[in-house]
Amino acid sequence: MSLIEEGPDKSVRMAHLACVGSHAINGVAALHTE
């Protein structure tokens, strides 16, 4: 999964960035709930 759109205009794929960010946040939350 690439966070940067490849092509003439490089841009950040916000949906992919949100997926990666939320996965990390959920992982930390799970760690603290144990």
C-alpha distances out from residue 34 to 15, 23, 27, 28, 30, Å: 29, 17, 11, 10, 7
Position 7 scores a pLDDT of: 72
Position 24 scores a pLDDT of: 53
pTM of the model: 0.33
Give the model confidence (pLDDT) of 1-34 as tens digits.
566 677 777 677 776 666 666 655 555 655 556 5
